[in-house]
C-alpha cells in the first residue's frame, strides 16, 4: 500500500508478480484496496499497471470501502497538494483532475457512476464539491491570462491597422498607389502587416471567448485550453510578423543609404519575439501536450499479468 501511495510502480509490479493475491489486501480501518489508494493519491503509474491486468477488472473497479464509496468517488476527491503542484496553473490542474475522473469513469461499471455513498453523494457530487475552490482558481487564472494577452493583441491591431493605411514612403499623388509598391521590401511589409493584423484579431477574439465562457467543469478539459492555445499561438505569430513588418519598413527607408543601421535594428527586433518565446512558449507547449498529447494513462509494463 505504501508503494501504491508513493507511486512506486516497480515495487508494486514485483510484489504482484510474486504474490498475486497481494492485490486483494485491504487497509483495515478503511477497507480500501491498492487500486483505491492509487486513485486517491493520483499514482498514475500504479493505476496503469493495475489497469492492464485483464482478469477480474470489473470486480476490482466496483469494490467499495467502509463508507460505501467506489473507485469513482475517490477519483472525484481533490488530489494531494504535492500532485497538484507538479502542474503549473489552476486551470491545468483542473484539467488533470477531470482527465483522472473521465479515465476512472470509463473503468467502472455504469451503475457505479450513479451510486451514492453513506453520505448520500454520487461521484459527480463529490467531484463538484471537492473541486469548487480549484475551479474558481482556474477560472481566475484563465481570465487573468486572457485579459493580459488581450491588451497586447488589441495594441498590435491598432498599430498594424495604422501602418496599413500610412504605408512607408506615402502614396503617389497622381494615381494613389504606394511609391515603393514595386520594391520587394514593400511586398514583405504588406504581407507581414496583413498577417500580423489578422492573427492578432484572431487572438483577440479567442481571449474574448475565454472571458465570456460559462466555465463549466467540462470546459476545462478541451474547450478553454483549446481557445488559450489558439490565442497564444496567434499572438506569437502576430508579434513575429509585426517585427518583420517593422524591419521591412526600416529597410525601405534606410536600406540603400544607411545599410549598417539594419544590423543593430534587426538584432533589437528579435528581442520581443525572444522574450515571448522564453516567457510564454513553455506555457503554450504544456497546454498542447496536456490537451492533445499522449496523456498519462498508458501501458505501464511489458510483463504478462494474470
Q: Are 255 and 248 in contact (CB under 8 A)?
A: no
Distance of CA 95 to the CA centre of its chain: 8
Looking at residues 205-231, what average pLDDT do you find?
95
pLDDT attached to residue 276: 77
At residue 302 the predicted structure's pLDDT band, cuts being 50, 70 and 90, is low
Is the pLDDT reported for residue 301 higher than 70?
no
Sequence spans of domains, the chain: 2-130, 134-292
Give per-residue pLDDT as tens, 4-17: 666 566 676 666 66
Cell of 191: 504581407
Average pLDDT, the chain: 82
**d(C-alpha 125, C-alpha 86), whole Å:** 26
SS3 assignment for 24-51: HCCCCCCCCCHHHHHHHCCCHHHHHHHH
Give per-residue pLDDT as tens, 113-169: 888 988 999 999 999 999 999 999 999 999 999 999 999 999 999 999 988 887 766
Query: Phi and psi dihedrals of 178, rounded to 5?
Result: -60, 140
Mark residue 278 as left, alpha or beta (left: phi above 0; alpha: psi -120 to 50; beta: remaining). alpha
At 128 the three-state DSSP class reads helix
pLDDT attached to residue 306: 45
Pick the residue with more confidence: 99 or 253? 99
CA atoms within 13 A on the CB side of 230: 16
Reply yes or no on domain 2-130 having CATH 3.40.50.2300: no
Looking at residues 81-89, what average pLDDT do you find?
90
Q: Which residues contact 124 (CB under 8 A, 6 or more apart)?
A: 76, 113
pLDDT attached to residue 56: 46
Give per-residue pLDDT as tens, 19-69: 666 666 666 556 677 788 888 888 888 888 777 765 545 545 557 777 888
Q: Which residue has the cell 499514482?
A: 43
pLDDT attached to residue 248: 84
Give per-residue pLDDT as tens, 250-289: 887 776 666 676 777 777 777 877 887 788 888 889 999 9
pLDDT attached to residue 30: 62
**d(C-alpha 36, C-alpha 207), whole Å:** 39
**d(C-alpha 127, C-alpha 135), whole Å:** 11
Query: Treating both helix axes as pointing N-terminal to C-terminal, what angle do 223-254 and 262-292 enclose, rounded to 10 degrees?
Result: 170
Q: Are 237 and 284 in contact (CB under 8 A)?
A: no
Q: Which helix (H) or strand (E) holds 205?
A: helix 184-211
What predicted TM-score, i.e. pTM, was given to this entire model? 0.83
Cell of 237: 505569430
Pick the residue with more confidence: 49 or 85? 85
pLDDT attached to residue 33: 76
Q: Are 291 and 95 in contact (CB under 8 A)?
A: yes
Is the pLDDT reported for residue 182 higher than 70?
no
Pick the residue with more confidence: 250 or 300? 250
In b/e form, how buried is each residue of 191-215, taking b as 16+ CB within 10 angstroms? Answer: ebbebbbbbbbbbbbbbbbbeebeb
**d(C-alpha 146, C-alpha 40), whole Å:** 32
Q: Which residue has the cell 489486501?
A: 25
Burial tier of 72 (Cβ tally within 10 Å: 0-12, 13-18, 19+): buried
pLDDT attached to residue 164: 82
Amino acid at each position: 500500500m505504501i508503494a501504491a501511495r508513493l507511486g512506486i510502480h516497480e515495487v508494486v509490479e514485483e510484489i504482484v508478480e510474486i504474490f498475486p493475491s497481494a492485490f486483494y489486501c485491504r487497509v483495515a480501518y478503511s477497507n480500501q484496496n491498492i487500486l483505491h489508494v492509487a486513485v486517491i493519491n493520483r499514482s498514475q503509474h500504479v493505476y496503469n499497471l493495475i489497469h492492464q491486468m485483464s482478469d477480474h477488472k470489473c470486480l476490482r473497479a466496483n469494490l467499495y470501502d467502509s463508507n460505501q464509496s467506489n473507485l469513482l468517488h475517490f477519483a472525484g476527491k481533490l488530489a494531494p497538494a504535492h500532485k497538484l503542484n507538479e502542474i503549473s496553473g489552476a486551470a491545468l490542474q483542473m484539467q488533470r483532475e477531470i482527465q483522472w475522473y473521465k479515465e476512472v469513469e470509463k473503468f467502472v461499471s455504469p451503475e457505479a457512476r450513479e451510486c451514492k455513498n453513506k453520505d448520500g453523494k454520487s461521484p459527480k457530487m463529490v467531484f463538484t464539491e471537492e473541486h469548487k475552490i480549484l475551479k474558481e482558481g482556474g477560472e481566475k487564472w484563465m481570465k487573468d491570462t486572457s485579459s493580459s494577452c488581450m491588451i497586447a493583441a488589441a495594441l498590435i491591431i491598432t498599430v498594424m491597422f495604422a501602418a496599413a493605411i500610412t504605408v512607408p514612403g506615402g502614396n503617389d499623388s497622381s494615381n494613389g498607389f504606394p511609391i515603393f509598391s514595386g520594391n520587394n521590401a514593400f511586398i514583405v511589409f504588406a504581407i507581414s502587416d496583413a498577417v500580423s493584423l489578422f492573427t492578432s484579431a484572431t487572438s483577440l477574439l479567442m481571449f474574448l471567448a475565454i472571458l465570456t465562457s460559462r466555465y463549466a467543469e467540462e470546459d476545462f478539459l478541451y474547450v478553454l485550453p483549446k481557445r488559450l492555445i489558439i490565442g497564444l499561438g496567434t499572438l506569437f505569430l502576430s508579434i513575429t510578423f509585426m517585427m518583420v513588418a517593422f524591419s521591412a519598413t526600416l529597410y525601405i527607408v534606410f536600406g540603400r543609404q544607411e545599410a549598417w543601421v539594419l544590423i543593430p535594428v534587426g538584432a533589437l527586433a528579435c528581442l520581443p519575439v525572444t522574450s515571448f518565446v522564453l516567457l510564454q512558449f513553455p506555457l503554450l507547449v504544456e497546454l498542447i501536450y496536456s490537451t492533445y498529447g499522449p496523456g498519462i494513462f498508458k501501458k505501464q509494463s511489458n510483463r504478462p499479468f494474470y
